[in-house]
Amino acid sequence: MSRAASLPVIYSAQSVIGMSDFSEELKGPVTDDEQVETSVLSGAGMHFPWLQTYIETVAIGGKRKKDFAQTTSACLSFIQEALLKHQWQQAAEYMHSYFQTLEDSDSYKRQAAPEIIWKLGSEILFYHPKSNVETFNTFADRMKNIGIMNYLKISLQHALYLLHHGMLEDAKRKLSEAETWRHGEKTSSREILINLIQAYKGLLQYYTWSKKKRELSKLDKDDYAYSAVAQDVFNHSWKTSVNISALIKMPGVWDPFVKSYVEMLEFYGDRDGAQEVLTNYAYDEKFPSNPNAHIYLYNFLKRQKAPRSKLISVLKILYQIVPSHKLMLEFHTLLRKSEKEEHHKLGLEVLFGVLDFAGCTKNITAWKYLAKYVKKTLMGNHLVWVQEEWKSRKNWWPSFHFSYFWAKSDWKEDTALACEKAFVAGLLLGKGCRYFRYILKQDHQILGKKIKRMKRSVKKYSIVNPRL
């Protein structure tokens, strides 16, 4: 039941200029801080807000919290409130006072301050009407140099800000600056950041490359400019590949990077390379489960005209992650065409699976496929398969798909859909089913014949009344 209620997870490729993600990220950790401050997580997962204050007083020897700590934390909540209400002016006013946490005598808080200030401050400067790119630049440059912990992160976000304002060249420069920045020990977290910075640089190069490519496609081969542009296109590619390839070897979700990298590899005919990248991205267990990885691989293989069995094996994994994905209908077709019997059975499963989801209930293709395929399966003497699928659904599909209400509204909206559904309903629930009966009663001239045929098939094949 719950499966039906939850919509399929939609994984959209991260936009290249992820400013919206950026600002969300800004809000996230700050509220986390707040939570840490006010509550203690006990073993049982319960929150005791009072316990934290108690512990705090114990920790400082029974003394009450200093007013400095009190007012700055009040200041922080005022800033958050102002941000929430989009009162940038007020937020800036409080921010003016909040800077003093950089001088907090509590070293733990002092160290945490630059990051909080950066997040809040950049958010304010992003939206504040009096703010401009210069203000933001000054702020970012200042914050970068308070402690070395945040240099790379801030540089990257700074570059994203510039991108958002269409300042590609400046963004590229910031990224290059960050890339060559060396300070102190190289830690693993910093390495990831450097890779990310390089990859973003690569992405920017890709952007230029693809623009050039488009220009190239517009040009005539005999055009005198052609060779120059072509040369340019080629020059760009190797730089980009170096920049991106390091990142996508590390576990993570790198959709936009992978996509553009593969596009370039394909463009230069390095199919094996592209396939390796995609296979690695989809199958390496260290990577988080990512439907897009399988979609990219499937689309690539399809372009490469790979054998059916290979395509099936890719989609099988996608089926396990996102059974409601629109590619599932394609998957079904592949399975149907396959010679193996187990694939035929799976084809049925897939169709039922798709229709379990609320978002797919009006997908006429899915219903058409199901109607046809159930009939075919029953005709092929595989009643057990259908019964097996139906067993877990017979409790809720009738009210979920085949209620009287749906019959009426489906008929009103889309008679073709209603017919397909009625057919399935008849096959699964028998001719007594309300949905089926309702559609049957409707006297439709064009569909009359079809309905008659349907009635006959239902009589003959319905699983409710198996012919023995």
Residues that bind other proteins (CB under 8 A): 66-69, 71-72, 74-75, 78, 88-89, 92-97, 99-100, 102-103, 105, 117, 121, 124-125, 128, 130-131, 135, 138-139, 142, 146
Comparison of 136 and 200: residue with beta carbon closer to other proteins: 136
* Start-to-end CA span in the chain (Å): 33
**Which CB sits closer to other proteins, 100 or 289?**
100
CB of 114 to other proteins, least distance (A): 10
What count of other Cβ atoms lies within 10 Å of the Cβ of residue 216?
A: 16
Residue pair 317/282 in contact by the 8 Å Cβ criterion:
yes
Closest CA to 36 of 103, 125, 116, 131: 116
Burial of 128 (0-12, 13-18, 19+ CB in 10 A): middle
Nearer to other proteins, 121 or 426 (CB): 121
Residue pair 310/301 in contact by the 8 Å Cβ criterion: yes
Contacts with 411 (C-beta within 8 Å, 6 or more apart), sequence order: 418, 438, 439, 442
> Please, what is the minimum distance in Å from the beta carbon of residue 147 to other proteins?
10
300 CB contacts (<8 Å, ≥6 apart)? 262, 266, 274, 275, 278
Between 100 and 231, CB nearer to other proteins: 100
Nearest approach, Cβ of 25 to other proteins (angstroms)? 22
Print burial letters for 365-386: b (CB count within 10 Å at least 16), e (below 16): ebbbbbbebbbebbeeebeebb
User: Hunting for tokens 């049925």 — which residue is that?
Assistant: 348
Q: Between helices 271-283 and 226-248, what is the axis angle to 10°?
A: 30
Residue 71 beta carbon to other proteins: minimum distance, rounded to whole angstroms: 5
Dihedral (CA of 230, 232, 238, 241) sign: negative
DSSP 8-state symbol, 359: G
**Choice between 120 and 265, CB closer to other proteins:** 120
Give the nearest distance from C-beta 3 to other proteins in angstroms.
46
d(CA 118, CA 108): 17
Output the smallest distance, CB 101 to other proteins, in A.
9
Q: Which is nearer to other proteins, 150 or 240 (CB)?
A: 150
Min dist. Cβ of residue 63 to other proteins (A): 9
Nearer to other proteins, 21 or 141 (CB): 141
What are the distances in angstroms from CA 131 to CA 136, 140, 457?
7, 13, 71
Task: Give the number of C-alpha atoms closer than 13 A to the C-alpha of residue 259, restricted to the C-beta side.
Answer: 17
Rank residues 43 and 129 by Cβ distance to other proteins and give the closer one: 129
The least distance separating other proteins from the CB of residue 34, rounded to whole angstroms, comes to: 15
Give 131 or 442: the residue with its C-beta nearer to other proteins: 131
CB of 429 to other proteins, least distance (A): 59
Q: Are 428 and 374 in contact (CB under 8 A)?
A: yes
